Amino acid sequence: MVQSTADERTPAPTAERVARILGTMTEQPKAGRSLAADAVQNPHLDGELAAALAARGGPPAPLTPDALAEWQRRDAARRPRPTLRQLADGGRFETAEHDADGVPVVAARPAGAAGPLPALFHLHGGGLIGGNAYAVLPRVLRESAQPLGLAVLSVDYPLAPAARYPAPLHACRTALRWAVRHAERLRIDPGRIVLAGKSAGGGLAAALALLLRDEGGPAPLGQLLLSPMLDDRGTTASTRQAAGHDTWDAVSNATAWQAALGPLHRTPDLPPYAAPARARDLSRLPPAYLEVGSAETFRDEVTAYANALWRDGGHAELHVWPGACHGFDTLAPDAAVSRTAVAARRDWLRRLLRPSSLTERQENGWGRG
| Peptide bond preceding 218 in cis form (omega within 30 of 0) | yes
CA–chain centroid gap for 271, Å, is: 19
What rounded mean pLDDT belongs to the chain? 90
Share of the chain above pLDDT 90, in %: 83
Q: Where are the domains of the chain?
A: 39-364
The predicted model gives 174-198 an average pLDDT of 98
Answer left, alpha or beta for residue 296, where phi above 0 means left and psi between -120 and 50 means alpha. Answer: beta
Q: Band the pLDDT of 355: cuts 50, 70, 90.
A: confident
Pairing of strands 288-293, 316-321: parallel
How much is the average pLDDT of 260-285? Answer: 98
Whether the pLDDT of residue 27 is over 80: the answer is: no
30 vs 106, residue with greater confidence: 106
Position 365 scores a pLDDT of 53
What digits encode the pLDDT tens for the residues 80-103?
Answer: 999 999 999 999 999 999 999 999
pLDDT digits (tens, 9 = 90+) for 337-347: 999 999 999 99
Residue 201 predicted with pLDDT over 60: yes
Query: Which pLDDT score, from 0 to 100, does residue 44 have?
Result: 78
pLDDT of 79 reads: 94
Band of the pLDDT at 240, cuts 50, 70, 90? very high
pTM of the model: 0.89
Domain spanning 39-364: which CATH class is it, in words?
Answer: alpha beta
Could you read off the pLDDT of 281-313 as tens digits, one per residue? 999 999 999 999 999 999 999 999 999 999 999
Q: Which residue has the higher pLDDT, 195 or 31?
A: 195
Rounded average pLDDT over 194-223? 98
What does the pLDDT read at residue 254?
98
Q: How far apart are CA 193 and CA 219, in angstroms?
A: 8
Residue 22, pLDDT > 80, answer no
pLDDT bin (cut points 50, 70, 90) of residue 62 is very high
